[in-house]
Structure 1
C-alpha cells in the first residue's frame, strides 16, 4: 500500500551494500569526494563539488525530504567498509504511484565494481514490492554515455529524449534521456536479471 515515504526510516541492505537515510552529519563522509573528485558531477544539474557545494547539496535534499518529494540515501560499501556515494528517490508522486530514481554518484574507486547493481536491486525491490509503485523513471544527460549504459545494464528501457529540457548549473541547456522500469517488467524479468548479475 502506498503511503508517505518520507515518514519512514528506510534502511536497505544486502551482503554488499547498505543504504541508509542521508543525514546532515554525513557531510564529513561525503566531503572527500567533493574536494578530490569534482569531475564526478560533470553532467549533474546540481554539483556538490567543494565544501559549500556539498553543504548545499545535503541541505537542499533534506528540505525536499521534509516536503515529501525526495528520499536521499548515503551508500556504504560493505566490502571496503567505506562510504561510496549517494542516491535518492525524487519527484515522488504517491497518487500516480511513480517516482524518479537518480542523483546517483559513486567515488571512482567504487565504479564498475558491481556496487551500483546491488544498489539498484535494493531500490527497485523496495519501490515495487514494499512501496507498491507502478513505475520508476530514470533520467540522464543525453551525452552521459557511462550513466546511460549503467541504466540499460540494470534493465531500464529507453523511452526517448526530452530536448533542451533543463538548465545546466555550469551554463547552457541539456537534452535528457528518459528510461524506466514498470512494475510488471520488474516482476517478469528485471528482478531476475539483476539477481543474476550480482551473483
Structure 2
C-alpha cells in the first residue's frame, strides 16, 4: 500500500487512524455546530456516525486512510479527515471528508491537520499532486481550501446526486509538488501568527 495507516502528530493535533472506538467521541463532536444539517455538506449525523466510521474503516483497507482528529490542548476528538480516492500508481490523493466541531473552527486545528496530511503525502511519499473537492456553494470550505494555497482546477457540473436529490456542482482544487514548499511555508506562518 502506498500510504500506511499510521498516526500523524503535530503540536496542536494528533491524527489517529479511525477506529470504532472513536464513534462516541465523534458523535459528541458533530453535535457541536450540527454541521450535518447543512444541505451542501456531507457530514454524518450522530445517528449515522457508526455507519460512517465503519465505512471509513473499510475504505482504509483499500488505501483510503481516515483519521480522527484529537486536539492536544483538550485531549478531545474534534472531527475527522481522510485521504480518499487514493491513486497510488500516479502518486496522488484527494484530502477530504473533513469536518470539525464548531469549537475548533478557525483555530490552528485545520491548518495543522492539512500541514500534516500534505507533508505526509509530498515529503514522505513523493506525491505528484493533492486534490480537494467541495460543493460549489460551500463558500466556507472553498475559502479554507484557498487559504491553504490550493488552486482552483475547475468545476465538475452536475457531478453528484445529493441525499435530497439535488445535483452537486463540485469545485476541484489542487496543490502540485512544485508548489508544496511555498504552501508549507504559508501554513507554518499561519501556525506561528
Q: TM-score, normalised by structure 2?
A: 0.93
1:48 alignment partner, SS class: coil
User: 1:87 aligned to 57, 81, 90, which one?
Assistant: 81
**Contact 2:153–2:172 (Cα < 8 Å) also in 1:** yes
For the pair 1:54 / 2:49, whether they are aligned, the reply is yes
Change in 2 beyond 3 A, CA 1:117/1:34: closer
1:196 alignment partner, SS class: helix
For the pair 1:196 / 2:189, whether they are aligned, the reply is yes
CA drift of 1:159 comes to: 1.1
| Corresponding residue of 2:60 | 65
Moved more, 75-84 or 89-98: 75-84
- Return the alpha-carbon distance in structure 1 between the equivalents of residues 149 and 18 of structure 2: 26
CA drift of 1:41 comes to: 5.6
For the pair 1:122 / 2:116, whether they are aligned, the reply is yes
**Contact 1:18–1:77 (Cα < 8 Å) also in 2:** yes
**Contact 2:16–2:69 (Cα < 8 Å) also in 1:** yes
State the aligned residue count: 191
2:145 alignment partner, SS class: helix
CA drift of 1:31 comes to: 1.3
**Contact 1:20–1:75 (Cα < 8 Å) also in 2:** yes
For the pair 1:44 / 2:41, whether they are aligned, the reply is yes
Which sections of structure 2, spanning at least 5 residues, go unmatched?
A: none
| Corresponding residue of 1:109 | 103
- Return the alpha-carbon distance in structure 2 between the equivalents of residues 12 and 39 of structure 1: 25
2:85 alignment partner, SS class: strand
For each residue in 1:31-52, what CA deviation from the matched residue of structure 2 results, as whole angstroms up to 9, or x when unmatched?
123455433462234x41032x
**What does residue range 143-182 of structure 1 map to in structure 2 within 5 Å?**
143-182=137-176
User: 2:23 aligned to 12, 21, 27, which one?
Assistant: 27
Which sections of structure 1, spanning at least 5 residues, go unmatched?
A: none
- Return the alpha-carbon distance in structure 1 between the equivalents of residues 46 and 17 of structure 2: 22
Q: TM-score, normalised by structure 1?
A: 0.91
**Contact 1:40–1:105 (Cα < 8 Å) also in 2:** no
CA drift of 1:20 comes to: 1.1
For each residue in 1:30-78, what CA deviation from the matched residue of structure 2 results, as whole angstroms up to 9, or x when unmatched?
1123455433462234x41032x1011111111111123x100000111
